[in-house]
Structure 1
Amino acid sequence: MKWIKWIVGGLLLIPVLALVALLLVPSERIARLAVARLGEATGREVSLSGDVELSLFPVLGLSAGGLEIADADWAGEGAMLSSARTEIGLDALALLGGEIRITHIEALSPTLRLEQRKDGRANWRFIEGAGDTAAGGSETGQGGRALSIERLQLTNATLVYAREGEAAMRIDGVDLAMDWPEPQGPATLTAALRPAGSPVTLDVDVENFASFLDGKLERLEARLTGPGGALSLGGRATLQGALAGNLAFEADDLQAFATGLGAAPGTLPPWLGRTGDIKAQMTLTDDGDLALRDLVADIGGNVLRGTFDSSFGATPKIAAKLQAGALDFSALATAPSRGGEAATDEQRSEGWPREDIDAALLAAFDGDIELQAESIRLGALELGATKVALRNERARMVFDLQEVAAYGGSLTGEFVMNNRRGLSVGGDLRARGVEMNPLLEALFGVTRFSGSGDARLSFLGSGQNVEAIMNSLSGSGSFEAGRGTIKGIDLDALLGSVDVKGGSTVFDSLAGSFAIENGVLRNDDLLLTLPNLNATGRGEIGLGAREIDYTVIPRALRVNSGRGLAIPVRIAGPWADPKIRPDVKGALDLNLSEQKKRRAEKARRELEDALREQMGEPVEAPAEALEAPLPAEPAAPQQPQPVPQPQPVPERSLEDILKDEIQDRLARELLKIFD
């Protein structure tokens, strides 16, 4: 029993003696040994600042005013890691055996700078060269002993990441923890970031962390979780950034997720949608080249499938081929569904927006994107099978409408946005066989026109806002339609009866052309033909000023002794409230000009004859009188005729009478076209 007591007592005495021995060793000496060991393992200069204290509880270790690990020789100025307060945990048994084994490092308010060069060098790779092992490996290439850090914790850290040729990224308020219990085993890293106040967490599991730090390809699982969504990656990766595996992204609030990562509120456009669900096979090189295969992206209910490739450099390059079913971008459209009902009179009269257009996106990337969709909905505007290609190069973006089915016909052409030397927009668009009724109803709320036709439009405008662009527009175009109808008004009957109500106008053709200069569209050859009537038109439409001054002249062909009856209708004023009235003076000029000439000539001859008789001069017989047969008996001498006196002007002129008769009726009927 005595031997047993001595053995037990000896065992209990060993820890006591160890603690006494540790207390007898100066803390400064332990600190110097720990610093030397850390510097030997990293190949960098390491220093502690401030007072150094030795602590025994809760773990054996050192507490110092600050820790600083120097950066690589090729990196920028300053330390790679510097902290205001540092605690270093040590393995007591290893320390008694003369081994400095650092079990954990905790740093308060540190600054961690990570830098990477294009040639693959990174300042977190402490030992360079073949056969070298990074911190945490078994041996260094310089004969150093093993370094094992079971836990690393950074609290309220500032993280700075700089990649050669790119702007440095800085994140404040980062909490980072790494658990690495076995030098050749797995490691778990957890980071909490607050770019916008709300916490964003990153969890990473690496299968062999020592090999991963040495730049080798290792299995990795990562998940980024933020407000409203999460992004996960699973596959094989290297410390330099190369990765191959599965990508999955789910968000029930895309804007909240983007804001949580530091984006400004409202960065994402509303038409993008609220939710997101993306899955793909992902390959990322350490140079930043990204490839997505088997891509399925559901953004706000719009599902896209295909491939996506990008390379990141001074100007990122993007190439994508996407297919889709029915796409709904109704939120893109702000136009009302019927004739401007969604906008107030005040809003319609305000004019074009004057806010500068942010065209920075045009210079943000170069690329080629192809899209095929079964249908696309843009508010009230609906397109059928669509095939478009987008090409962007040096801030010049071209939308190539290769095939767009729309309203029974097709749309083709190009639309261009150029921001190389200030913003400009232009295009060359063609429409073939398009049904007017659904198209005009979708765009302007006009429902009374029907028929199919063709159109062409070429235009160019420049300016930093919509108002400037609309006032600078130039170009040309034409339109042509075959047989169609105008419901609610019978132009043929209107010119022949004062009691016409309702009905329809069936026209044989509609055609015209126009030119645009300085934001003003001019047309002088509008022609609408019917069996018994035609209508011509000419005038100006101020695209920039949002004003119109246009005259339409319907002409009945079977009245007025076959010469036709024309009643011009003038449409003038601002778009928000144009005035539509018959041009009675123009009607008189058009329809009574011949009668006026004949009456004026007859009055002139009568006046000349009367003056000659008074002066005793012979009066010339009119031509029709010379051709008449001579009378049987001599005619009695004619008495001098009095000079015709001017007839009193009637109280109401013919113009006033016609105006009262047709103005209200004609204006009211023509306005029905725009109901």
Structure 2
Amino acid sequence: MKWILRIIGALVLVAVLVVGGVLMLPAERIAKIATDQLSKITGRNVSVSGDVSMTLWPVLGVTAEGLEVGNAAWAKEGAMLSTAQAAIGVDAGALLRGEIRITNIEAQSPTIRLESRKDGRASWQFTDGAGAAQIETETTPARAPRPVTIERLVIRDATLIYDAEGADLVSYSGVDLSLDWPDASGPAQISAAVRPAGERVAVDANIGNFAGFLGGEVQPVGLALETKGGTARLDGRASLQGAVAGRIDLDLKSTGGFLASLGLAAIDLPQGLGRSADVQADLTLTPDRRLALREMTADLGGNRMTGAADIDLNGVPQINAQLNAGVLDLKPLTGGGSDGGGSGSASAGWPTDRIDASGLAAFNGAISLRADSIDLGALKLGATRTLLTNDRSRMVFELREVQAYDGQFKGEFVMNNRSGLSVGGKLRAGAVQMKPLLTDLAGLTRFTGQGDAEVSFLGVGQSVDAIMRSLSGQGALNVGRGSIEGIDLDDLLGNFDVQGGTTVFDSLSGTFAIEKGVLRNNDLRMLLPNFDASGAGQVDLGGRTLDYTITPRALRVNRDRGLAVPVRIYGPWADPKVQPDLKAALDLNFKEERERVEDRAKEKLEQKLQEELGVVRQEGQSVEEAVKDRLEDKLKEELFKIFD
């Protein structure tokens, strides 16, 4: 027992002597101890160039000016950390036991440079260098690191520079950072505030085994990022090399604002197409910035989608996705209003608001889409299967299978914003109900029937109005049994009354051409139960007016020569005027009678001239020539009398 007491007493005496010796050390010596220990921990040169002040037991601390932590030998630029002022606290009791327990590190306005290379090297990976700075790139370091704990790290107003090989340089200023890491083998809590574009972005992270994470291991991670435009949360696993896997949750009130807060290019997406977004997905991100999203659900501000996507984030995002949607509203993309081109808005004309198509530059790639229905403003589609491709602001909707207006559509619709906005396409429609189609496209409500149609078109402009006034193209129409409301052609041929009624036809066909927003047709053919009809004229798509003449012909009247009564339809789409052209009707139906009347009139005139003037028409001579000759003879007779 006495020996035990003697041993304890000796240990206490040694401890007192050691502690006393430590407490008697000058501040510069304390700083040298701290920097030496940091050098051994990190394998980097750590130096203090300015004045040093000291705190004592139980925390052995120094406040130093001009602190610098060297970078990896292979790094391109200068020190990994340099700051004008820093404070470091070391647990003196742990230090006596040979442990390194840094209770706190504080730095004001430091510059932090982080670099990484494709071969896995990272400037923030440290080894116990025992005074010789080096980076261990092997899976197992050459020697086991000493236990180290940084209980708390606080950095204020820092400049953070990150240089990843093969990627753009990232530089942030005004960064605030705090790290709580009480257990060397335990988790760490990180809170940061960065200002990539002047606005504060808050970052909170919880990392499982922080020491393993710093060594390049994959560890459990919880991350929350909050900006003025919205929030992003991740629960999963990650490594410092850029590998991430987990469940992500995006709640973006403004996608453009969110991207702008992160210093990225802000885009003004159309409403319902990502201007705001609520997205959840299983996420996998590889170190070479390739992103995979699975089990994705997204509310894009009214449009809901599910699906999967692969995205290459190097440069302009390259997307390959498969999406499924219910009711999809794309009116903001086409600039269409809720009433399309219907008659309700005819007096106001087409929308003149500028179409912002900058969103077409947000990505490249291909997106396969299935939807229960799609509203394009001018067109309303049912069940749809389409492939959307986008290449440098040229977006193509390939309609592979589209149910609409009780029929089917195929073709493609193109939006090109490479050098000003243009829209165009080639569409084919089969067994389509024409009344709802023409109502949505042009506000024409008086035409019914089921038919086939095809059209190719191209329009240029920054508004719907400009596009409609610039349209060019061509097409054809073939309709089965249908009707034209507002006019009864049967009744017209009987009494020339066109006030109301409905014309029922058996078939209708024709072709048309579009130039500068005006559709022209001159080969319309319509078969009716008792007669046929032809049509010719134009429809001003830009001005929303028409001037068209339909000429029905009854075949079994007028001595089997038929009876034709042209009907002119003209004026605005919403309220066109309909009236027969009686002069044209007379010209068409009574040509022979008119010629006979004209012949009889000429005969009576010739007879009268002979009786009154003595004019005799020679063979082959017209009445006018005979009168002229007679007048010349008469004048000659009068002139000769002067010389008699």
* TM bucket, shorter chain: 0.7 to 0.9
Corresponding residue of 1:569: 568
Corresponding residue of 1:117: 117
Corresponding residue of 2:32: 32
The answer to whether the Cα contact below 8 Å between 1:390 and 1:400 also exists between their aligned partners in 2 is yes
* Partner amino acid, structure 2, of 1:285: T
Shift in alpha-carbon separation, 1:617–1:245, aligned structure 2, 3 A:
closer
Shift in alpha-carbon separation, 1:41–1:556, aligned structure 2, 3 A:
same
> How far apart are 1:267 and its partner, in Å?
2.9
> How far apart are 1:483 and its partner, in Å?
0.8
How is 1:272-351 mapped onto 2 (pairs within 5 angstroms)?
272=273, 276-300=277-301, 302-329=303-330, 334-337=336-339, 345=347, 348=349
Q: Structure 1 residues 497-506 or 595-604, which shifts more?
A: 497-506
- Distance in 2, matches of 1:344 and 1:518, equals 19
Alignment pair present for 1:235 and 2:240: no
Question: In the alignment, which of 539, 545, 550 is matched to residue 547 of structure 2?
Answer: 550
- Distance in 1, matches of 2:463 and 2:299, equals 33
- Distance in 1, matches of 2:360 and 2:436, equals 36
The answer to whether the Cα contact below 8 Å between 1:535 and 1:552 also exists between their aligned partners in 2 is no
- Distance in 2, matches of 1:23 and 1:194, equals 42
> How far apart are 1:215 and its partner, in Å?
1.0
The answer to whether the Cα contact below 8 Å between 1:153 and 1:176 also exists between their aligned partners in 2 is yes
* Partner amino acid, structure 1, of 2:565: A
- Distance in 1, matches of 2:354 and 2:273, equals 24
Corresponding residue of 1:129: 136
Q: Structure 1 residues 595-604 or 546-555, which shifts more?
A: 546-555
SS state at 1:286 partner: coil
The answer to whether the Cα contact below 8 Å between 2:498 and 2:579 also exists between their aligned partners in 1 is no
Corresponding residue of 2:154: 153
Question: In the alignment, which of 439, 446, 457 is matched to residue 455 of structure 2?
Answer: 457
- Distance in 2, matches of 1:74 and 1:360, equals 41
- Distance in 1, matches of 2:596 and 2:18, equals 136
- Distance in 2, matches of 1:352 and 1:586, equals 40
- Distance in 2, matches of 1:338 and 1:122, equals 57
- Distance in 1, matches of 2:586 and 2:213, equals 94
How is 1:610-625 mapped onto 2 (pairs within 5 angstroms)?
610-612=608-610
How is 1:513-524 mapped onto 2 (pairs within 5 angstroms)?
513-517=511-515, 519-524=517-522
Q: Structure 1 residues 44-53 or 171-180, which shifts more?
A: 44-53
Corresponding residue of 2:628: none
Corresponding residue of 1:179: 180
> How far apart are 1:495 and its partner, in Å?
4.8
1:292-340 Cα offsets, whole Å, 9 max, x none, are 2233334445443332222333454322222333434565563352765
> How far apart are 1:270 and its partner, in Å?
1.3
SS state at 1:440 partner: helix
The answer to whether the Cα contact below 8 Å between 2:126 and 2:215 also exists between their aligned partners in 1 is no
> How far apart are 1:72 and its partner, in Å?
3.7
> How far apart are 1:415 and its partner, in Å?
2.2
1:273-297 Cα offsets, whole Å, 9 max, x none, are 7875433332221112222223333
1:493-514 Cα offsets, whole Å, 9 max, x none, are 2453366643322122222212
The answer to whether the Cα contact below 8 Å between 1:568 and 1:587 also exists between their aligned partners in 2 is no
SS state at 2:495 partner: coil
> How far apart are 1:180 and its partner, in Å?
1.3
1:505-531 Cα offsets, whole Å, 9 max, x none, are 212222221223455433221233333
- Aligned sequence identity (%): 50
> How far apart are 1:452 and its partner, in Å?
0.9
The answer to whether the Cα contact below 8 Å between 1:491 and 1:554 also exists between their aligned partners in 2 is no
Shift in alpha-carbon separation, 1:195–1:294, aligned structure 2, 3 A:
same
Corresponding residue of 2:642: none
1:222-246 Cα offsets, whole Å, 9 max, x none, are 2334557543323332111112333
Corresponding residue of 1:167: 168
> How far apart are 1:432 and its partner, in Å?
0.6
How is 1:661-672 mapped onto 2 (pairs within 5 angstroms)?
none
> How far apart are 1:31 and its partner, in Å?
2.1
* Partner amino acid, structure 2, of 1:414: E
Corresponding residue of 2:385: 387
Alignment pair present for 1:77 and 2:77: yes
The answer to whether the Cα contact below 8 Å between 1:492 and 1:556 also exists between their aligned partners in 2 is no
1:425-481 Cα offsets, whole Å, 9 max, x none, are 432210111112222333444433321111111234567776776566443211111
The answer to whether the Cα contact below 8 Å between 1:488 and 1:503 also exists between their aligned partners in 2 is yes
SS state at 2:67 partner: strand
Corresponding residue of 1:54: 54
> How far apart are 1:174 and its partner, in Å?
2.9
Alignment pair present for 1:484 and 2:465: no
- Distance in 2, matches of 1:396 and 1:255, equals 21
- Distance in 2, matches of 1:30 and 1:317, equals 55
The answer to whether the Cα contact below 8 Å between 1:381 and 1:442 also exists between their aligned partners in 2 is yes
Shift in alpha-carbon separation, 1:532–1:335, aligned structure 2, 3 A:
farther
| Unmatched tracts of structure 1, length 5 or more | 1-7, 134-139, 621-675
The answer to whether the Cα contact below 8 Å between 2:104 and 2:152 also exists between their aligned partners in 1 is yes
* Partner amino acid, structure 2, of 1:295: M
- Distance in 2, matches of 1:357 and 1:395, equals 9
The answer to whether the Cα contact below 8 Å between 1:34 and 1:102 also exists between their aligned partners in 2 is no
SS state at 2:599 partner: helix
Shift in alpha-carbon separation, 1:462–1:39, aligned structure 2, 3 A:
farther
* Partner amino acid, structure 2, of 1:203: D
| Unmatched tracts of structure 2, length 5 or more | 1-7, 128-134, 619-644
1:199-224 Cα offsets, whole Å, 9 max, x none, are 54333222211111111222223233
The answer to whether the Cα contact below 8 Å between 1:359 and 1:423 also exists between their aligned partners in 2 is no
1:333-353 Cα offsets, whole Å, 9 max, x none, are 6335276567585x537x856
TM-score normalized by structure 2?
A: 0.79
Q: Structure 1 residues 406-415 or 395-404, which shifts more?
A: 395-404
> How far apart are 1:95 and its partner, in Å?
5.0
- Distance in 2, matches of 1:122 and 1:584, equals 91
* Partner amino acid, structure 1, of 2:125: R
Corresponding residue of 2:630: none
Shift in alpha-carbon separation, 1:130–1:338, aligned structure 2, 3 A:
closer
Shift in alpha-carbon separation, 1:338–1:354, aligned structure 2, 3 A:
closer
Shift in alpha-carbon separation, 1:342–1:141, aligned structure 2, 3 A:
farther
The answer to whether the Cα contact below 8 Å between 1:116 and 1:122 also exists between their aligned partners in 2 is yes
SS state at 2:37 partner: helix
Corresponding residue of 2:601: 603
* Partner amino acid, structure 1, of 2:504: V
SS state at 1:483 partner: strand
TM-score normalized by structure 1?
A: 0.75
Alignment pair present for 1:192 and 2:207: no
SS state at 2:149 partner: coil
